[in-house]
Amino acid sequence: MTDKTLFITGASSGIGAETARAAVAKGWRVALMARSADKLKTLVQELGADSALAITGDVTKYDDLTAAVSATKDKFGQIDAVFANAGMGLDTPGVAEGDPDEWQAMMDLNVMGVLWTVKASYEALKDTKGHLILTGSVAGQIHLPGSVYGASKWFVHGFGGNMSEEMRGWGGRCTVIAPGMVDTPFFEQPKPDKLKPEDVAQTVIFALEQPKRADVRNLTIMPTG
């Protein structure tokens, strides 16, 4: 068991919520940030108020993130790991039919939301020589025809590598988790033969549990279906 604290964005459902459950089962305390106050409240009731903190906020707003980091430190004393998980896809993935307003919303979340999360939590992680985990995607490792979403995840993978190099200078680590297709609310239609959120959550826990001498920078998880 551990007294360590994990801060999770996009925590109210899917991968974020399952990671919270898996982390608490391993003895972590979790700070859960998302826009859905009702879902967060239900999750905290499930996990227990001593182990979990609900923080309603928008990761595209830097002030919300700085307030969330402060609230986490006020309750738990420190932040040992950050899981920048919040993200979105597109209804129309290609360029020709794509909606520029939808692109802007996605980039605000998938790119700037990651940057704001890391910026807001940087000093807290440095204080604990902590671990940063980013939700990437297999779409950020391969080329897909005209995929604007894939391009946003290429950013995450590139930024994650850069953060690994920076954080090693002060004893921290950064891991990018790259799932294939996952059966989550991310998709309108169920994907029963694909990965489950709990599969990705266990990959996050695997990264967090590696010994300090091991810097696991990228983990790819694909469905067998």
Position with higher pLDDT, 102 vs 94: 102
Q: Strand order of the sheet with strand 218-221?
A: 52-56, 29-34, 5-9, 81-84, 131-135, 173-179, 218-221
Name the residue range of residue 186's domain: 5-221
Respond yes or no: is residue 149 known to be catalytic.
yes
Q: Express each pLDDT in 50-84 by its tens digit.
A: 999 999 999 999 999 999 999 999 999 999 999 99
Q: Express each pLDDT in 12-33 by its tens digit.
A: 999 999 999 999 999 999 999 9
Q: Residue 72 maps to which CATH number?
A: 3.40.50.720
Q: Are 89 and 109 in contact (CB under 8 A)?
A: no
Q: Which of the residues 7, 83, 122, 149 is marked catalytic?
A: 149
Tell me the C-alpha to C-alpha distance, in Å, between residue 22 and each of 26, 135, 205: 6, 16, 7
Domain count for the chain, please give it: 1
Q: Write out the two tokens for 4.
A: 């360590």
pTM here is 0.95
Q: Express each pLDDT in 126-142 by its tens digit.
A: 999 999 999 999 999 99
